[in-house]
Amino acid sequence: MARAIYDRCGEEACDLNDLAADLEDGSGGAFRLKTSAARIFELIEKRGRSEARLTDNGKLVIDEGRDVTAKAQAFLRVPLYSAVYDKFKNTRLPPKQVLDDELKNMGVPAKQVDKARQVFERSARQAGFFESSDNRLVIPTRNQPQIRNKSGLAPSPMMDTEDRFESYIAEAGLQNRFRRDDPLIVGLMDRLPTAGSSWNDDARVAWLRLASSIFDVTYSDGTGQIEIKLTAGSDRD
């Protein structure tokens, strides 16, 4: 997705309809899934009603020589993937059934756990985490990422302390809810500001757009046609 945007529009905003034609996906579910995934990995950002452009990390991921770090960064920006990495780094990954159980404990619905594990493994392989061994998650050594998860989906305390994933859930009071919700949903709700605090329209729109992209990934039967924008009278989308 990042490469397709760059090849058509460089670092400028790119029309998603044109991009869908380039990828021969039309504007159906497959294309929306690719777009949503690229946004979850923070490689692209939505612009206006039907445009997207590369993020800073998206520009790096297609830059030979810096793509290794960028891919690792993108992988670690996904809360579930970072949690699995933190739990099993420097050790062998467990057998499939054990890993499936761990994913369920982290909030993946039982009916989706097999698919989630396969997607996780493909993502880890593409990001270079299996370069040293097929059963160990190791950050690529050519260019190690300098930061961990900085996304609003997963606050930094979740990523930067021992037992960070479990501690984050406990401190947020989300133990029971997390068992039935997707980790992305939990992170999304945690990003809401405290009641009564200041929250301007731009920030609200950004949160709602993020929520919409997460819903596209987490839930089925959506059309992907939801538009979120400021009302008439504003010169912003």
**120-135: per-residue pLDDT in tens?**
999 999 888 988 788 8
At position 149, the amino acid (one-letter code) is N
pTM of structure: 0.55
pLDDT at 227: 81
pLDDT level of residue 139 (50, 70, 90 thresholds)? confident
Tokens of 176: 């029971």
- 2-61 CATH fold: Arc Repressor Mutant, subunit A (1.10.10)
Rounded to whole angstroms, how far apart are CA atoms 237 and 50? 11
Distances (CA, A) of 203 to 145, 152, 184, 221, 224: 28, 12, 18, 27, 21
Cβ-based burial of 110 (10 A; exposed 0-12, middle 13-18, buried ≥19): exposed
Mean of the per-residue pLDDT values for the chain? 76
The mean pLDDT of 82-93, rounded to a whole number, is 87
pLDDT level of residue 101 (50, 70, 90 thresholds)? very high
pLDDT level of residue 28 (50, 70, 90 thresholds)? low
User: Higher-confidence residue: 55 or 197?
Assistant: 55
Rounded to whole angstroms, how far apart are CA atoms 38 and 24? 17
Question: Can you point out the beta strands (E) in the chain?
Answer: 14-15, 44-47, 51-54
